[in-house]
Chain A
């Protein structure tokens, strides 16, 4: 066997791509969905019927401050998220170790909206950046996968450099199956190469303090799931409306987004949607008199560059059109990885198809490529079917998601290890088609008022589920052809 640069890098691309690809497919799929995390949370809380955000009134802000003080007295560090175009309510949130959860208030009256507790779109966001593991370990694993993606991209470009341009116009779905998968992998890979490089590079860079820390050689302190804090003395805060008006004046061009409460002051942060630079600029006010402290929004060019990297990766500044572009690009990047996983197994089927390791790889592919979407759709079904007043409802939803995914993985491995992987593909694609195709009906039956109040939001989420279902059924049909 003659060793050349192409064969050597082809081996690296294949093996590193496969091992990291199993994780990366999940990261990119959940990341693409997490672009709409707040919209998904709104879909999953049909009790919130407000369509447009309203500026918070003094009454509502004071109600939120009282709620924060109450939570603080119970040892919970809460903050206030102001209404914005993506979330029209005034939210009192805290971090539960995985995501931000809390109460929703009407921004006009300050009345509590009896919205169901839900894992919401935050579950996908959390899966994307920590794989729902411990914050440090999960982030490091995701960063390593990001570096592996960059290595796979560099090696993939080197081995295909002579055919990058022809690959853009080459898609032959009707030829042999292996060739069709390779065409799809190359076409999507070449077209979405800049997007994948941008997301992988910025993603690794924004968390580089954990993987490539500066001196001294230790990682930064992390916010992890810590035991509940001891109850603290309840604090009273000055009226927030005047502070908010002052903050708006001190942060020119940026709309306030969050209010954080510390024992010695109130900090009003600029919202993430203000610009492509994720600045975290803030106006500070001293307690208890509420006197404004000097605001410093100056940043060095390097700090501005880092703010831009964060902004580009998180895409919180993006208007709806750009958000859809991020979503579709993310899905296409997921397709590149998923097709790479399938190719890896198909290319080795003739020589190693009888081996258990090959069958295991086939089963893992099914669990990731079909099992994950099935679990996502099951989460949406769970949101509508789990009783609204159930205690610990968000944990039930999370439980449904992971249980369904686990069952899909077991089902896929069981059939793949017996050499019947195609049966598992067909069964799970059929299930995805059923869940995706009938979500609209379930949504209309369970929440007609919400569908009527927010038709755009519901049609978008239900439509995407329907599209996923139709794609699954189409893929199932193609599998049945010889």
Chain B
């Protein structure tokens, strides 16, 4: 392998790693916001459970979308937008 190719592969792997970590963190924060949006009150056990069911379903999908759709970081931006909406709802409800 040429040095140029090795460098390109290393850069690609580094970018992928950073993107994977960012996707995981972003998806986790959104999943938690989702639970809080659905169950704003601490004593609403049923709503908390519904929120958790939806969040556990969405979390892996969000990670795959945020990481997989890489062109111009469309996945990260899309998932981030969902996060902003979730945070906005949380602020409104609060």
Interface positions of A (Cβ within 8 A of B): 1, 3, 5, 8-9, 11-12, 15-16, 147, 150-151, 153-155, 158, 201, 204-205, 208-209, 212-217, 300, 302-303, 305-306
Least CB separation from B36: chain A residue: A215
The reply to whether B59 and A8 form a contact with Cβ atoms under 8 Å apart is no
Q: Which of A1, A16, A204, A208 sits near B9, CB closer than 8 Å?
A: A1
Report how far A113 CA is from B80 CA in the complex, Å: 61
Q: C-beta contact mask, B59-79 vs A, less than 8 Å → 1, else 0? A: 111011001111000000000
Report how far A12 CA is from B75 CA in the complex, Å: 15
Smallest Cβ distance from A146 to chain B, in angstroms? 9
The reply to whether B64 and A215 form a contact with Cβ atoms under 8 Å apart is no
The reply to whether B20 and A205 form a contact with Cβ atoms under 8 Å apart is no
The reply to whether A8 and B67 form a contact with Cβ atoms under 8 Å apart is yes
Determine chain A's interface SS by DSSP, over half rule: helix
Smallest Cβ distance from A289 to chain B, in angstroms? 32
Q: Which of A1, A151, A201, A302 sits near B64, CB closer than 8 Å?
A: A151
The reply to whether A205 and B56 form a contact with Cβ atoms under 8 Å apart is yes
Q: Enumerate 22 A-B pairs (CB-CB under 8 Å) in ascending A order.
A: A1-B12, A5-B68, A8-B68, A8-B70, A11-B13, A12-B16, A147-B59, A151-B60, A154-B60, A208-B52, A209-B52, A212-B52, A212-B55, A214-B39, A214-B52, A215-B40, A215-B41, A216-B42, A302-B50, A303-B45, A303-B46, A305-B49
Q: Pick the 10 closest A-B CB pairs, nearest first.
A: A214-B48, A150-B60, A208-B52, A302-B46, A151-B60, A154-B64, A214-B39, A215-B42, A151-B63, A212-B55
**Additional A-B contacts beyond A1-B5, A5-B68, A15-B20 (15; CB < 8 A):** A1-B12, A3-B12, A9-B64, A12-B64, A151-B64, A154-B64, A158-B68, A205-B56, A208-B52, A214-B48, A215-B36, A217-B36, A302-B50, A305-B53, A306-B49
B31 interface residue (CB < 8 Å to A): yes
Least CB separation from A204: chain B residue: B56
Report how far A212 CA is from B56 CA in the complex, Å: 8
Residues of B within 8 A of A154 (CB): 60-61, 64
Q: What class of interface size applies to chain B in its complex with A?
A: 35 or more
* Given A8-B16, A12-B20, A12-B68; A147-B60 close (CB under 8 Å): yes
Residues of B within 8 A of A208 (CB): 52, 55-56
Smallest Cβ distance from B70 to chain A, in angstroms? 6
Residues of B within 8 A of A147 (CB): 56, 59-60
B86 interface residue (CB < 8 Å to A): no
